[in-house]
A and B are shown apart, each in its own frame.
Chain A
Amino acid sequence: MTAQSIQRVKGRVVPLGGDDIDTDRIIPARFLLCTTFAELGEHAFEDDRKSPGHPFSDPRYAGAKILVTGRNFGCGSSREHAPQALKRRGLEAVIGESFAEIFLDNATSCGMVCACLPREVIEKLLADAKRDPRSEATIDLAARTVGLRRRKYPLAMDESVRQRLLDGSWDVLAVLQEARDRADALAARLPYLAFRRGGAAR
């Protein structure tokens, strides 16, 4: 299974905003009682979106591809169910001031783009999407920019993540498999794998 190269994401914006949005809010734990990710899309922000004015319950933002939020998005639990739920809802990218690290890995593993922009640009994006839900933004990974209304803003992104998205190795398993012999050789040199295990009862 070879993954697709992801060069750019162009689409409408859902203006979530907010800082430190944790993965319990993205997908509450009761929806983790499952053995597949298939049904998660409908439960993204299940509890939060009941509060008035939440963009996930606003039909004008249905079909948006880019979620815009604040700093430290996806903090907390390591559940990949969070980006999987967003992806299954049709989102292809998240723009934030910063991302929690496990969320960034999980999003990348499912081919979802996480791009960082400074707070003032994020505020522009939020204001623009609130004013006009049909307005589109474009994330260009090769050029490292986010485009909004004929202006382009430089984005920040971990270079290894950007390359994985661009070269289609965001699903990194095949890359890891290439070095199987080297991994085996390394394991054979690890001192702790040679120590004899005890059989003590404690």
Chain B
Amino acid sequence: MGRNLLAKVWDLHRVRDLPGGATQLFIGLHLIHEVTSPQAFEALRERGLKVARPDLTFAVVDHVVPTDDVRRPLADPLAEEMFCAIEDNTAACGIAFFPPGCGSQGVIHVAAPELGLTRPGLTIACGDSHTSTHGALGAVAFGIGTSQVRDVLATQCLAARRPKVRRIVLTGKLGPWVAAKDVILHIIRVLGVKGGVGFAYELAGPVVERMGIEERLTLCNMGIEGGARIAYCNPDEKTFAYLAGRRYAPDGADFAAAAAWWRTMASDPDASFDDEVALDVGDLAPMVTWGITPGQAIAIDEAVPSPSACPGPERAQAEEAQDFMGVTPGKPLTGLKVNVVFIGSCTNGRLSDLRVAARVARRGRVAPGVRALVVPGSERVAAQAEAEGLADVFRRAGFEWRLPGCSMCLAMNPDRLRAGELCVATSNRNFKGRQGHPQGRTVLAGPAMAAAAALAGEIVDIRTMMGADA
């Protein structure tokens, strides 16, 4: 029986077994940012410890940066303090830091793959739950908390529990305007927001094989929303082509050697899995969320479920969600008035996402009264979008073209919802209060649906809006 990718990567990085079945795991790449690292550096200082492998540690500032003006000092003194902290900590420890203006800054999960830091066969940890994103290139990548950031800084190791592996085989040909975001929302809906707890998700099958790397990044990004701390795709020729020529990817003759090794790290054809799920996504429609968890999702042509039709334990939650969101059971979401549109984040802030959104934006103008933000995932994405003319498309259509950062995904910067506003967001979480106001409401969707909502001023079916232009 062959082995799956997770088993190969785990065994390669196992320093030793710990009591009770945990593993001391070596971390091949440690990504840090300004929110979850300052307390970790402080803990190191308190104990007189050094960073074990600054050469395997890379830092950005992404969560707190404003998207309109990043001149120092930042307008918010607390954000400025956090910026200074990571600047000082990385300088003192010899860690590479990518601040705004360097050309490589961005949301860590957008910037690291672009830099070629994310590669097959690595263990990757970052103090951010969306670290699952990096699995798209065949890494075993997972989010950690601040104490664990400290552990990795001090030892380049973690105490980790080995997950089981669930292989999700996706078949069918995706319909027009249906993409990775819709697929992952569908998976979470089917398997539940805690369905992946204790599992790593291997996303496989012809649908994944046909996807480009950026779509795979979207897919793995939201594995955590389904409870799976780790999600990954097996590396293939597309992965290698994506990595070729990137700053931190192997160079010259070593690239061929690396690619040969990367190939060996993919799951074997006869690999075994702890669980297997097959999903035909051929008849999937664009997805939207109607509630306050990413699992509360429906197809755009489907009605909001009646709480009484939900399974027992989910009934109260559905009632709470519908009350909070102001949606009506039995009705579809189309026609729901939209105040804000947010296109960006580590889920859908990449060039391919902006291309799709721009195709829609070319068709009209942002509806009166709608605030529509396009926040590129990184400076590299922004530069490419400018060069391709996408930024101009957005500006002409009345979207605000912003600077890169996490922005309104979690609203730690000034980009926030106001009371009662409803936002169609391409990000990953529709939790109560997530976008910066306790009464702000979030509908998650893909970039095409979000752009369409901006033009219409209400939630629409992108397929209807674009007609035959598929």
In the complex, what distance in Å separates the CA atom of A58 from the CA atom of B193? 30
In the complex, what distance in Å separates the CA atom of A25 from the CA atom of B321? 14
Chain B 286-319 per-residue mask, 1 if CB under 8 angstroms from chain A, else 0: 0000000100000000000000000001100100
Contact B145 A102 (CB under 8 A): yes
In the complex, what distance in Å separates the CA atom of A196 from the CA atom of B251? 6
Given the complex, which residues of A lie within 8 Å of B12, measured CB to CB?
190
Given the complex, which residues of B lie within 8 Å of A50, measured CB to CB?
438
| Distance from A187 Cβ to chain B, minimum over Cβ atoms (Å) | 6
Given the complex, which residues of A lie within 8 Å of B254, measured CB to CB?
195-196
Q: Could you say which of A102, A177, A202 contacts B155, with CB atoms under 8 Å apart?
A: A177
Residue of B nearest to A36 (CB): B39
Contact B412 A32 (CB under 8 A): yes
Number of interface residues of A (CB under 8 A): 72
Contact A71 B147 (CB under 8 A): no
Given contacts A19-B313, A186-B15, contact A101 B197 (CB under 8 A): yes
Given the complex, which residues of A lie within 8 Å of B128, measured CB to CB?
77-78
Contact B36 A183 (CB under 8 A): no
In the complex, what distance in Å separates the CA atom of A173 from the CA atom of B159? 9
Q: Does B101 contact A (CB under 8 A)?
A: no
Binds B, one of A105-113, A126-134, A136-144: A105-113
Binds A, one of B116-124, B167-175, B343-351, B363-371: B116-124
Q: Does B20 contact A (CB under 8 A)?
A: yes
Given the complex, which residues of A lie within 8 Å of B122, measured CB to CB?
192
Q: Does A120 contact B (CB under 8 A)?
A: no
Binds A, one of B201-209, B268-276, B352-360, B425-433: B425-433
Residue of B nearest to A38 (CB): B39
Q: Does B388 contact A (CB under 8 A)?
A: no
Contact B194 A80 (CB under 8 A): no
Contact A75 B194 (CB under 8 A): yes
Interface residues of B in 113-140 (CB under 8 A from A): 116, 119, 121-122, 127-129, 131
Contact A187 B156 (CB under 8 A): yes
Taking each of B28, B145, B193, B197, which has the highest tally of chain A beta carbons within 10 Å of its own beta carbon? B145
In the complex, what distance in Å separates the CA atom of A179 from the CA atom of B24? 9
Interface residues of A in 1-50 (CB under 8 A from B): 1, 18-20, 22, 24-25, 28-30, 32-37, 47-48, 50
Q: Could you say which of A180, A187, A200 contacts B246, with CB atoms under 8 Å apart?
A: A200
| Distance from A81 Cβ to chain B, minimum over Cβ atoms (Å) | 8
Binds B, one of A61-69, A145-153, A160-168: A160-168
Q: Could you say which of A47, A70, A80, A158 contacts B438, with CB atoms under 8 Å apart?
A: A47
17 pairs of residues in contact across A and B, judged by CB atoms under 8 Å: A20-B293, A30-B412, A34-B82, A72-B227, A80-B147, A101-B161, A159-B20, A160-B19, A176-B151, A176-B159, A182-B15, A190-B28, A193-B28, A197-B250, A198-B248, A200-B247, A200-B249
B residues whose Cβ falls under 8 Å from a Cβ of A: 12-16, 18-22, 24, 26, 28, 35-36, 38-39, 42, 47, 53, 63-64, 76, 78-79, 81-82, 85, 116, 119, 121-122, 127-129, 131, 142-148, 150-151, 154-159, 161, 193-194, 197-198, 225, 227, 229, 245-252, 254-255, 257-258, 261, 293, 313-314, 317, 410-412, 429, 431-434, 436, 438
A residues whose Cβ falls under 8 Å from a Cβ of B: 1, 18-20, 22, 24-25, 28-30, 32-37, 47-48, 50, 70-72, 75-81, 83, 98-102, 105-106, 109-110, 119, 158-164, 167, 171-173, 175-177, 179-180, 182-183, 186-187, 190-193, 195-202
Given the complex, which residues of B lie within 8 Å of A32, measured CB to CB?
35, 63, 412
Contact A162 B20 (CB under 8 A): yes
Given the complex, which residues of A lie within 8 Å of B250, measured CB to CB?
195-198
In the complex, what distance in Å separates the CA atom of A35 from the CA atom of B82? 6
Contact B258 A195 (CB under 8 A): yes
Given contacts A80-B146, A191-B261, contact A179 B76 (CB under 8 A): no
Contact B119 A98 (CB under 8 A): no
| Distance from A166 Cβ to chain B, minimum over Cβ atoms (Å) | 10
| Distance from A167 Cβ to chain B, minimum over Cβ atoms (Å) | 7
